């Protein structure tokens, strides 16, 4: 058995833990009540490099898997590699692909990767000029990490400018029209292996209304995707980006997440992330049949080229996020939750929960992820919503249109 140390505490980590647990001895820091059922949770700050290295020694980790972006940007994977631990997650330098939107634009430009034309602005005058150059709808992005809430897309110029002024360095770019796709590639610096393409629902309300969130649900694969889409993304986005990162002396080892828009003029990168997406991971891993521990170990050791092709369950998976009222603003905390038993094809993932003297209560904005799998998308969606209807959580809400392609 491989001893795996998994860092993080959200729904993505619960999905990762669920896919890792059958073939490993699982330790998690800090974890959550769902992960506590799969392994041992340790009360350690996942973003503290020294504390994580100490824990990796204590549990004798064969592999460390880093879920969220904050530890990556903080250099936790550098500290682990220096201490001799195989680690799935990029170095702090390579994590700048997510940590700085301006840096990601530079890499894409150097690598010839198609993306929205953008201006990096540091003053209100520059921001105003960029807003007028591109026109409405305006796209204004905080340069740094903002938990999925740093981007404002609006036709209201005053609101766009107001957001720009709160950001310090801001990226203002042309608006990309067309359906969005999330593609995850497992990378070992040289070789990249794609997972199934997925679609995320970022806005808080049905019909894609209201503010952006970290993600309100997702489904995979994409029945409407054009033939050859994954191969095209690998050839025009993932491979050139890996090559450029190698050329810079900062090879990318970990998960490269391309968020793309399929515009009338071809595909364009909307953003890079440097870790598994949340909540797409909850749907994608529901269909993976190859042991995840083998895939991530091969990537961490630079041995992906020798990995047999991934095996997938036929059909589709849908994850619906149950959030606390108030999210993405201030969520109501502490609401009591009662969960139905998991089944073979519908289960609950914990995202923001904690145990309060034996009772399960909400402790975050996105509280639960309810997954359904079936032979096709419509049935997977039905399974997820049926299961969700048995969740008792009066303070929660969810979108009702997750899994309907948009």
Query: For binding to ligand GLY (CB under 6 A), which residues are involved?
Result: 148, 200, 215, 273, 277-278, 280
Comparing CB distances to ligand GLY, the nearer of 174 and 280 is 280
Determine, following the binding rule CB under 6 A, whether residue 176 of this chain makes contact with ligand AMP. Answer: yes
Closest contact distance (angstroms) between CB of 193 and ligand AMP is: 23
Binding-site string for ligand AMP from residue 89 to residue 128, where x marks contact by CB under 6 A and - marks none: ---------------------------x------------
Comparing CB distances to ligand GLY, the nearer of 8 and 277 is 277
Q: Which of 201, 193, 172, 151 is nearest to 302 (CA)?
A: 193
Comparing CB distances to ligand GLY, the nearer of 142 and 273 is 273
Closest contact distance (angstroms) between CB of 267 and ligand AMP is: 13
User: Which does residue 294 bind out of ligand AMP, ligand GLY, none, counting CB within 5 to 8 angstroms by kind?
Assistant: none
Closest contact distance (angstroms) between CB of 274 and ligand AMP is: 13
Determine, following the binding rule CB under 6 A, whether residue 151 of this chain makes contact with ligand AMP. Answer: yes
User: Which does residue 215 bind out of ligand GLY, ligand AMP, none, counting CB within 5 to 8 angstroms by kind?
Assistant: ligand GLY
Closest contact distance (angstroms) between CB of 96 and ligand GLY is: 16
Per CB under 6 A, the list member of 49, 214, 259, 396 interacting with ligand AMP is: 259
Determine, following the binding rule CB under 6 A, whether residue 180 of this chain makes contact with ligand AMP. Answer: yes
């Amino acid at each position: 058995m491989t001893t795996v140390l998994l860092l993080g505490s959200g729904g993505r980590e619960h999905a990762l833990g669920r896919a890792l647990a059958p073939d490993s001895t699982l330790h998690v820091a800090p974890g959550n009540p769902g992960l506590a059922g799969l392994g041992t949770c340790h009360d350690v700050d996942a973003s503290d490099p020294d504390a994580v290295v100490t824990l990796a020694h204590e549990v004798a980790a064969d592999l460390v898997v880093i879920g969220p972006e904050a530890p990556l940007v903080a250099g936790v994977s550098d500290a682990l590699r220096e201490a001799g631990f195989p680690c799935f997650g990029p170095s702090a330098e390579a994590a700048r692909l997510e940590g700085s939107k301006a840096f990601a634009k530079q890499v894409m430009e150097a690598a010839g990767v198609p993306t929205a034309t953008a201006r990096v602005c540091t003053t209100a005058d520059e921001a105003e000029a960029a807003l007028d150059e591109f026109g409405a709808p305006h796209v204004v992005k905080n340069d740094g990490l903002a938990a999925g809430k740093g981007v404002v897309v609006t036709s209201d110029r005053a609101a766009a400018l107001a957001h720009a002024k709160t950001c310090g360095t801001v990226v203002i770019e042309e608006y990309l029209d067309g359906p969005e796709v999330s593609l995850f590639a497992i990378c070992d610096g040289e070789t990249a292996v794609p997972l199934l393409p997925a679609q995320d629902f970022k806005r808080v309300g049905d019909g894609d209304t209201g503010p952006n969130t970290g993600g309100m649900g997702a489904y995979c694969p994409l029945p409407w995707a054009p033939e050859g889409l994954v191969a095209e993304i690998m050839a025009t986005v993932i491979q050139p980006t890996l090559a450029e990162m190698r050329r810079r002396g900062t090879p990318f080892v970990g998960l490269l997440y391309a968020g793309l828009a399929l515009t009338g003029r071809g595909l364009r990168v909307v953003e890079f992330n440097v870790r598994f997406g949340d909540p797409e991971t909850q749907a994608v891993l529901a269909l993976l049949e190859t042991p995840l521990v083998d895939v991530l170990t091969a990537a961490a050791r630079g041995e992906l080229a020798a990995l047999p092709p991934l095996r997938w369950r036929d059909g589709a998976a849908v994850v619906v996020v149950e959030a606390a009222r108030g999210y993405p603003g201030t969520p109501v905390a502490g609401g009591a939750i009662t969960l139905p038993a998991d089944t073979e094809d519908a289960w609950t993932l914990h995202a923001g929960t904690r145990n309060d003297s034996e009772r399960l209560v909400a402790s975050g904005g996105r509280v639960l992820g309810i997954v359904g799998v079936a032979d096709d998308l419509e049935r997977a969606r039905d399974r997820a919503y049926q299961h969700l209807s048995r969740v008792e959580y009066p303070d929660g809400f969810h979108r009702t249109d997750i899994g309907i392609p948009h």
